[in-house]
Amino acid sequence: MSVSDKIKAHKEKRSEKKALKKSGAITQKNIEESRDEILAKGKKFKYPFQYAKHRLIFNTIIIGVVAIGVFVLVGWYQLFRAQSTSEVIYRFTKAFGVTVAEVDSVKVRFSDYLMLYRSSVASMERQQGTFDSSEESKLQKEYFKRQALSAAEDYSYAMSKLEEAGKSVTDAEIDEVIEGHKVIDGEKRSNEAFEGIVRENFGLSMKEYRRLIMLSLAKKKANVEFDKDAKALADEIEAALAVDSNFETLAQKYADNDAVSYELVEGVEETNLDSGRASMAASLENIGDVSKYFVSKNGDGYYFVKLTAKSDERVLSYASIWVRFKWLDEEMSKLRRDGKVHENIELKADNAEAEKAKEPDTEKADN
């Protein structure tokens, strides 16, 4: 076909389109042609928008990665360098399961450490006022940090050993302890009142308080399970008391054994906070009666109790022999000597001093 023929054909085609437009007739052919024409015109807008969309997605990903990086960096600094103990950081450690230490491959929760520390500080501030910026306050807080971290390590290791033995702490056991704690000065407090007492005394919610009880019970049950020496010693003392119930004489016999202690307690109420000794003495019928050995409520050993005096006003006196649990203390000391305790934060207070300190008293929440 010649050029002139092509020009003629193109003019005819255009004339047909104009005629169709004027006539308004719609055919399959002109629909397809119209569609192709619209698509061809749209191409010049399509690709720039695709490019902008891809650029937007790419920029969003970059910003997200940078934000996460900054968040992680700030969190890491606040936890491991600044050692913040704020509420925000505490919630962060609970949400993300951050680890503060490792004991013989057992992970220690950062949230447990902060919970113990914050409860100790709340209890102390309730007694002596808010900590200030003085050097003395700083030293006290450092000491509480060391105490809390050592306790968290002990709890975590004890819980892992208990799990290895196929045992655990049940909700029913936790409920039983808490129900006992609700009885204060002979009066059982309501759930709402007790929650307020726990919050005021320890700065903890009931969920956190249950966690604290669970850790304490796990340590107690692990000691009962694994401290064979304490059990053998308690059996030995029980056999000796069956022959001669004189506590003082028996205490002298074991004077060189640092696992055995004797104490005479006079003029206390049946509800006295003493690891269950007063309530056990109150359950004895006659003066001079001796109890079987039992596990202390705070899980630090076995106790024998002898009732020495009792009045109508629910005031009594008793003698006690304490057989101390040493298994966990010795295990943890050995692990630390062997370099199997790795901590992710560096504390100033001495670990040996913290181990001698009393742990937060979860035996009862007083007013």
95: tokens are 């949400």
Alpha-carbon torsion angle 125, 83, 358, 208, nearest 10 = 80
Residue 32's CB: how many other CB atoms inside 10 A?
10
Percent of the chain's residues with pLDDT above 70? 77
Confidence of residue 127 (pLDDT cuts 50, 70, 90): confident
What is the architecture of the domain spanning 98-226? Orthogonal Bundle (1.10)
User: Which of helix, strand or coil describes residue 213?
Assistant: helix
- Over residues 95-118, the pLDDT tens digits come to 888 999 999 999 999 999 999 999
Residue 291's CB: how many other CB atoms inside 10 A?
19
Q: Against a cut of 0.75, is the pTM above it?
A: yes
Rounded alpha-carbon distances, angstroms, from residue 290 to 34, 47, 52, 306: 106, 93, 86, 4
Which of 35-39, 287-291, 337-341 is predicted with the least confidence, judged by mean pLDDT? 35-39
So where are the chain's domains? 3-66, 98-226, 228-325
- Over residues 230-254, the pLDDT tens digits come to 999 999 999 999 999 999 999 899 9
- Over residues 343-358, the pLDDT tens digits come to 999 987 665 554 544 4
Q: Helix crossing, 191-202 with 206-226: angle to 10°? A: 80
